[in-house]
Amino acid sequence: MILPIVRREIGEGSLGADLHPVLDRIYRGRNIQILEELDTGLKGLAHYNGLKGIEQAATIVADAIEHNKTLTIVGDFDADGATSTAVCMLAMQQMGAASVNFLVPNRFDFGYGLSVPIVDIAHEQGSQVIITVDNGIACVEGVERAKALGMQVVVTDHHLPGELLPNADAIVNPNQPGCSFVSKHIAGVGVAFYLMLAIKAELASREWFTRKQITPPNLADLLDIVAVGTVADVVTLDKNNRILVHQGLQRIRSGRCRPGIQAIVDVAGREGTHLTSTDLGFVVGPRLNAAGRLDDMALGIACLMENNVLQARMMAAELDSLNRERREIEAGMKAQAEQTLKAMELDEGDIPSALVVYQEDFHQGVVGIVAGRLKEKYLRPVIAFAHQDDKVIKGSARSISGVHIRDVLDEVNTKHPNIIEKFGGHAMAAGLSIPLTHLEAFTRAFVTVTEQHLAKLDGQQVILSDGQLTHHDISLPFAKILRQSGPFGQGFDAPLFDGVFTLVQQRIVGEKHLKMVLRDDSGKEVDAIAFNVDIDAWPNNHVHQVSLAYRLDINVFRGQESVQFIVEQITPYG
């Protein structure tokens, strides 16, 4: 679907005479009002004491460490959950915890979060204290079971709570009632990192490190893991999240990251020194996620925790193999889903406000990616369902900007009780389970509620551009300045430019990517690539000029750097 390109509205003024004028335009287009908002130094990080419940949680865990109790981290099977688990495991081991382990529910056997069966396994393994990461706020029954078995429970999460909170010994979640923490968009791994900071401070106040002759760990060394989880979970990059991501990215670029992260970067054929925040989401995150989608996330966590470089490379290679398998499954499912939609004979004028697809042979671990791909193609909120058992189907939802998908599901659940069995999530992504017999009724309700939410948006969807670049700015020096100007991500969009160019060369590479050579009006030529184009439409030898929305990037080939456009949208011009 082709969208109109609209340039961001920017008022008069400037952030500073020393700032490159294009950067000034970019930042002011993202509502940055003073340069201090761009400070990504650690001193600008919000203090952990702003999180409700964190001091109580730190006391419980510090007591457990001091009295040698068995601690179990219960994580989630996505990249945020994996990184959260790894951060807690590494930090507590470095702080002298003698007995700490982790459990991550296999999505095919246990489903999401601190379920009753997972609690029972933790109990059988001798756990005395459970710490949830990236889950728990909706796990009322699981917490009750743990309490009944005599365990203490600390919930750390970032998902929006329901009406009923779990009866945990402590809850750390910026979105729980009464919490005034400034970063409501922090990922699960960020919350887990903050808890580790609080535990370290609590143990230091007890002179634990002195008594045990332990060197207090520099927890900032774990920010590379925090950055990966934050970007992979597609949370809004507010100032606090930008600091976390920037600090982690700097450690990766300088070669001071975990062996597992370096190994994943290497196996993907990327250079750590050139890595961007976008790469964390499209290179590292998917390879971690592949373990949880197709196999067991324990592999991803083990890779993040591994100290041995050779072992880390072997694990990264296995993750890469799983990711390739995931891509093949995803491609087949996406084709099936598109065939289903095609059979509905939709055109751009009658696409419903939301799309729901289900096939019995869809893979549970890949429905979220399929929903995301369909969302990108049709620009509608999408839910893709897969078979869970004979009675229940499990769905993964992906939304568009301006439509809070978790709120949509909550409204469906309120207006139509009992259609949804359970659900949870945040603005851009959510998960749910429904009885198969309710699919038709759910689809009607979901489309109706989404239509009401879409009606509240101002006008049609557009591509927001930061304007044109002059031929002076289409250069390696400026591309390098741009690369260092982030981090960018959800809610703090990566710079996007538009322009009309002469199409000098065009060819398909890698099955469906359009490789081009373009020429601007000054005669300067530049390479460009558009991923996943419609191969029925491109290449097109009748087209000589194109209108583009593109990102300015740096291509590295055999050690040589050159400017390259990453094309987001291409249309014939004239």
Query: Is the residue at 330 inside a domain?
Result: no
**Which CATH number characterizes residue 368's domain?**
3.10.310.30
Q: Please check whether residues 195 and 95 belong to one and the same domain.
A: yes
Same domain, 433 and 563: no
In this structure, the answer to whether residues 209 and 269 fall within a common structural domain is yes
Shared domain for 220 and 130, answered yes or no, is yes
Contact 385, 367 (CB under 8 A): yes
Q: What's the whole-model pTM score?
A: 0.88
Structure tokens at 558: 């055999």
Residue 57 lies in a domain: yes
CATH code of the domain containing 528: 2.40.50.460
CA 465 to CA 550: how far, in whole Å?
9
**Residue 168 Cα distances to 66, 75, 82, 151, angstroms:** 21, 16, 22, 10
Statement to judge: residues 47 and 34 lie in one domain: no
DSSP string of 17-42, one letter each residue: TTS-HHHHHHHHTTT--SGGGG--SG
Grouped pLDDT means (10 residues each) for the chain, 574 residues:
89 88 95 92 96 98 98 93 97 97 80 89 97 95 97 96 94 97 97 98 98 96 98 92 97 95 94 89 91 85 96 96 90 83 66 90 88 88 92 93 91 93 85 94 96 81 93 95 91 95 95 94 96 92 96 88 95 91
Are 26 and 99 part of one and the same domain?
no
Looking at this protein, which amino acid is placed at residue 265?
A: V
pLDDT at site 81: 94
Do 403 and 525 fall into the same domain?
A: no
The CA-CA-CA angle for residues 492, 495, 496, to 5°, reads 125
Domain limit, last residue, from 455, 482, 499: 455
Which residue in the block uniquely carries the two structure tokens 């007591």? Answer: 63
CATH number of the domain at 51, please: 3.90.1640.30
- 390, 468: one domain: no
Residue 459 is predicted with a pLDDT of 62
Domain that holds residue 446: 344-455
Residues 140 and 267 reside in one and the same domain: yes
Written as one letter, the residue type at 549 is A
Asked if residue 509 is part of any domain, the answer here is: yes
